[in-house]
Amino acid sequence: MTAVPTGFYGHDNPETEQWVDQDGTVHYAGSSSGTAREPEPVPARPGTGSRNHSGTGIPAETLNGEDVSPEPVPGSPPYIREPGTAPRYADVAALLDGNRPEPPAPVLLRREDDIALFYAGQVNLVFGDPEGGKTLLTCAAAVEALEAGRRVLVIDLDHNGVEAIVFRLLDMGAPEEALRDPNQFRYVEPEDRAHLAEVVADTKQWRPAVAVVDSIGELLPLLGLSSNSPDEFTRAHANVLKPLAMAGAAVLAIDHLPKNTETRASGPTGTVAKRRAIGGVAVRVTINEPFAPGRTGSAFLTVNKDRHGGLRQHCHSDGREPAAGLFIVDSRGDGMEWRIRPPQLGDTGKAQGVSDDDVAELDALDPPPGSVQDVQTRMKWRRQRAADALRAWRNGRPNGACAECGRAAPLNLNTRTCATCESETKTA
């Protein structure tokens, strides 16, 4: 049902004997409280340094005179020094001497083709309409992490309730023993901003792999801030979302779409500062088949923003927001079986609400449609419908070399010919 992630992210691997946080404090495996003992010398393994699998990528450079700097953990955020200790400028020479890091790649919530959606150590955004599957998607990510032995934090500002969240996680396959263990799973419904501040502060030592924040729309009022003010959202980001990411978590922040048709196309409600603050990926969730008990539901996932391009490179280039996959939840049996099907040609158009009938009508036009205005004139459609349908029609035809004329163009899947040659064949 779910794929266990490759690479470490979040807290230390259970097999790790000890790890060092950004304060230089040594922590030991098996300590659920995170209390530290007196530091002991840590012998560095040849070529690798000490074993630091905290997933934070924040090593201690020396410990009792020994160099214990480890290699970066896959999926970890950058090494962060204490304030005032960082060098003034980056060491570009060292970067070019063979120490160049790999670009960040998503590590959480894998599709059936093993491509992950979300980045560790970054703020990721999941947005869409109510009852569109946003919370279900983040629960799936939490289940994947719990099954892999990772730590999960759920900050429920939307007041779903602990019963609803826990039972949903169980139905989706979360191990009951993991949910029972407060050192692996923590749920909180903050009473006020002071309570929330305590929870965020705890993550510095606890270091969850996944931190779900549901939702941004409730976070800002709790902090006494406005969702329409760039400065106030930046404060919320700096005080809550960024510290969670700095602790090594893949932050999954849930947000909603505005009601205005024109502004919905650009992203979630409120200030554009939300989009700027995303360090990972912003995924739009669009309902395809409603989610309900006793049936199969699904939602299209499209990429609204991908700062590092690690997910976008594995999506079809079929529009401004390429399809990232189809999230499917089958509730017909005991529990909820879920999966993410890789994207297919035409998914983006369907996610934008284009009907198959509209695409079929354009496909039947002779000669083929050439522009939005051409579609408007011939089909008597409004401009938005014409533009969306034409885009979906073009995207539904894979690009390639036409079997007739040899030109690179969108092709008919059956004949492997372009629209111009199709028209000429019909005329002849």
| Helix pair angle (356-363, 372-379), 10° resolution | 90
CB 215 within 8 A of CB 157: yes
The predicted-structure confidence for 190-199, as pLDDT tens digits, reads as follows: 999 999 999 9
The predicted-structure confidence for 13-62, as pLDDT tens digits, reads as follows: 444 444 444 444 444 444 444 444 333 333 333 333 332 333 333 333 44
- Alpha-helical runs (H) found in 285-418: 347-351, 356-363, 372-379, 383-395
- What count of other Cβ atoms lies within 10 Å of the Cβ of residue 46? 6
- What count of other Cβ atoms lies within 10 Å of the Cβ of residue 179? 19
- What count of other Cβ atoms lies within 10 Å of the Cβ of residue 162? 12
Phi first, then psi: what are they for 414, rounded to 5°? -85, -45
Cis amide linkage into residue 215, ω under 30° from 0: yes
The predicted-structure confidence for 115-127, as pLDDT tens digits, reads as follows: 999 999 999 999 9
Cα separations in angstroms, 137 against 133, 163, 265, 420: 6, 18, 21, 42
DSSP summary character for residue 237: I
CB 189 within 8 A of CB 156: yes
Q: pLDDT at position 366, please?
A: 85
- Radius of gyration over alpha carbons of the chain, in Å? 24
The distance from CA 361 to its chain's CA centroid, rounded to whole angstroms, is: 35
Cα–Cα distance measured from residue 378 to residue 118, given in angstroms and rounded to the nearest whole number: 43
Q: Is beta strand 152-156 parallel, antiparallel or unpaired with respect to 185-188?
A: parallel
Encoded tokens for 261: 């048709």
Max mean pLDDT range (161-165, 343-347, 402-406): 161-165
- Counting residues of the chain whose pLDDT is more than 90, the rounded percentage is 51
Task: Characterise 294 by phi-psi region: left (phi > 0), alpha (psi -120 to 50), beta (else).
Answer: left
CATH fold, domain 108-351, is Rossmann fold (3.40.50)
CB 120 within 8 A of CB 144: no
DSSP summary character for residue 134: H
Is it the case that residue 254 has pLDDT exceeding 70?
Answer: yes
Cα separations in angstroms, 418 against 349, 369, 424, 425: 20, 12, 10, 11
| Helix pair angle (383-395, 356-363), 10° resolution | 80
Burial pattern 98-129, b for ≥16 Cβ within 10 A else e, equals eeeeeebbbbbbbbeeebbbbbbbbbbbbbbb
Q: Is the pTM of this model over 0.85?
A: no
Max mean pLDDT range (54-58, 287-291, 388-392, 408-412): 287-291
Q: In the chain, which segments carry CATH 3.40.50.300? A: 108-351
